[in-house]
Structure 1
Amino acid sequence: MVLTLLAAVLCFVTVAGFGFVLVGGDSAQTRTLKRAQTIVGRGEAAEGGRGRRAQSGPDQRRRQILKTLKDQDRQAKKLRLTLSARLQQAGLSGEVKGFWISSGVLGFVVAIGVIALGQSPIIALALGGAAAFGLPRWVVGFLGRRRTKAFTAAFPDAMDIVVRGIRSGLPVHDSLRVIGAETAEPLAGEFRRLVENLGMGLSVEQALERMHERMPTPEVRFFSIVLTIQQKTGGNLAEALGNLSGVIRARKLMREKIKAMSGEAVASAWIIGSLPPGVVALITAMSPEYMMVLFTDRRGQLMLLAGITWMSIGIFVMRKMINFRL
């Protein structure tokens, strides 16, 4: 009994630790928002110190940008707490109720299967709960990250399409329709929904808010700010979107550079993190009597618990060392 529980805990901590090292961390859009708010705040303070000698146009635009950033920050904080937003980000059309029903059915099936294999009800309950609450959420997070990555990679091309359309005389609405018809998923689907919302009578700001709910990325936030500010204060939209496309491509290039520079650290984290459970598994397979003392004796169990604790701390430290966010 104790052997099975300790083995299950060790496997869970190892797998969860790898996921935390390679995936965890705060969202990049939150840090981007804080930097933007700091820059805007400093700009306003500097303008006040100079006696407000700047023209009213830039001041109004700056205040509008700050207001939009704060509104979207409050909205993003609400979205991060809801399962519905995660389902939308993953591209799943099902409701939250259906997700919980499917999760419950999966947990029940796993628990029944474990009991059928002759395990105790406690282990069956633990594995069933993990399957019901952990596995579906991990799948939704994986699908959401993959979909967001594909959307972000194709987003600069969409900005170029809008810029070329505007410079050739097309309205913005028609340029957005071209993106929904000519590009690949998930970019095409998101812009089709954006065009449909605009056609149903929603304002540009409301339609972009819904788009940001489905795809909460910094790129969508920047796009929303540019269109919203241009609609309210005017300006050269083609030039603004062209600059936005350049910024997004520069961010992508910087992410690739960081990924290349941290590749050695990531490989080291994989090797160091997999060594302890790998060695335990190999020695157990070659000489079970030698390793069983750790699982049957109280002192061995305490040593395993201490090893799991220190390994978790090491995984957390490695994750902090290799987790670079723009």
Structure 2
Amino acid sequence: MKPVTLIAACALSAAGLFVLLSFWLDPFVALEMGAAVFVLAPLMALVVLRKRRQSRFGDQFPEAIDIIVRSLRAGHPIGVAIKAVAQELPDPAGAEFAILQDEIAYGLDLETAMRNLANRVGQQDLPLFVTSISIQSQTGGNLTEVLDNLGGTIRARIKLHRKVRALSSEGRVSAIILGAVPFILFGAVNVISPTFYGAYWGHPWIKVGLTGAVVWMCIGFAIMRKMINFRS
């Protein structure tokens, strides 16, 4: 997603929220909430997009290791193997290995370029991959066997991770439904009886009550997410 598209989408969402809330809340309060959405939504979107990119890279990583292993077994140096990954795989793995290849071509040593790759992508399997190549380049040994075993380990971990996500899918759906029910009921009551909450909006404690309700809902949602978020 392009930055301009992301900012435009967040601006439209903030404007829509402001218009919607203006029917029930003070315009200044609605403006504050719309501004908060405009500020926080891009940050949340970037976090989601980064995790999605890391996930796609993780799915491609075993195949990238296989390409490197085949190139090394054919007698090619590690630089040629990295170039093969950059040419054969699509984004994001292909793009990241292309950057790695360019850094090595412009004079950066292999270990530093590999660590830059790990820091840039942030995928959890990359540090072990970088360490394996760094140690083997300094001490020698059978790098193809090490990388072959590493690829098998990563594939097994990915398979386990998908199995855990499948088993915890019911809990995730329940958490989403429980988190959305209060907002759905609030909207439904306002549609059915627009004056139902009218007598309470001016009460001095209404903001405190709403803030407390939102805080406790966020805490409950975080607890449910923690309960179903198994590390694999």
TM-score range, shorter chain: 0.7 to 0.9
Within the candidate set 116, 128, 134, 2:35 is matched to 128
The aligned counterpart of 2:183 is 277
Task: Within 5 Å, give how 1:69-218 maps onto structure 2.
Answer: 120=27, 123-131=30-38, 133-218=39-124
Task: Within 5 Å, give how 1:58-69 maps onto structure 2.
Answer: none
Within the candidate set 217, 220, 224, 1:314 is matched to 220
- Using structure 1 for the length normalisation, give the TM-score: 0.61
Rounded Cα–Cα distance in structure 2 between residues aligned with 1:287 and 1:164? 68
Alignment RMSD: 2.9
Rounded Cα–Cα distance in structure 2 between residues aligned with 1:284 and 1:171? 68
Q: Deviations over 1:179-213 (max 9, x none)?
A: 11111111111111111111112111111121122
Deviation of residue 266 (structure 1)? 0.5
Deviation of residue 256 (structure 1)? 0.3
The aligned counterpart of 1:6 is none
Q: Deviations over 1:139-171 (max 9, x none)?
A: 322221221111111110010111111112222
3-state SS, counterpart of residue 122 of structure 2: coil
Letter in 2 for 1:198: I
Instruction: Please tell me whether the aligned partners of residues 100 and 113 of structure 2 are also in contact (alpha carbons under 8 angstroms).
Output: yes
Rounded Cα–Cα distance in structure 2 between residues aligned with 1:215 and 1:201? 21
Deviation of residue 306 (structure 1)? 4.2
The aligned counterpart of 1:267 is 173
Instruction: Please tell me whether the aligned partners of residues 294 and 303 of structure 1 are also in contact (alpha carbons under 8 angstroms).
Output: no
Change (3 A) 1:205 1:143: same
Letter in 1 for 2:88: E
Rounded Cα–Cα distance in structure 2 between residues aligned with 1:114 and 1:305? 18
Change (3 A) 1:305 1:216: closer
Letter in 2 for 1:234: G
Which has the larger displacement, 304-313 or 251-260? 304-313
Change (3 A) 1:228 1:253: same
Within the candidate set 126, 129, 146, 1:220 is matched to 126
Letter in 2 for 1:181: Q
Rounded Cα–Cα distance in structure 2 between residues aligned with 1:303 and 1:238? 62
Highest RCO, 1 vs 2 (Cα 8 Å, sep ≥ 6): 1
Letter in 1 for 2:168: S
Which has the larger displacement, 237-246 or 289-298? 289-298
Rounded Cα–Cα distance in structure 1 between residues aligned with 2:189 and 2:18? 26
Letter in 2 for 1:269: A
Deviation of residue 276 (structure 1)? 1.3
Deviation of residue 288 (structure 1)? 2.2
Instruction: Please tell me whether the aligned partners of residues 83 and 98 of structure 2 are also in contact (alpha carbons under 8 angstroms).
Output: yes
- Using structure 2 for the length normalisation, give the TM-score: 0.83
Letter in 2 for 1:206: T
3-state SS, counterpart of residue 291 of structure 1: coil
Letter in 1 for 2:34: L
1:240 aligns with 2:146: yes
In structure 1, stretches of 5+ residues that fail to align are 1-89
Within the candidate set 245, 250, 257, 2:156 is matched to 250
Deviation of residue 308 (structure 1)? 2.8
1:324 aligns with 2:220: no
Instruction: Please tell me whether the aligned partners of residues 294 and 304 of structure 1 are also in contact (alpha carbons under 8 angstroms).
Output: no
Instruction: Please tell me whether the aligned partners of residues 165 and 175 of structure 1 are also in contact (alpha carbons under 8 angstroms).
Output: yes
Deviation of residue 305 (structure 1)? 4.2
Rounded Cα–Cα distance in structure 1 between residues aligned with 2:121 and 2:155? 18
Change (3 A) 1:198 1:303: closer
Rounded Cα–Cα distance in structure 2 between residues aligned with 1:265 and 1:289? 36
In structure 2, stretches of 5+ residues that fail to align are none
Deviation of residue 125 (structure 1)? 5.0
Change (3 A) 1:256 1:323: same
The aligned length equals 222
Letter in 2 for 1:127: G
Change (3 A) 1:286 1:126: closer
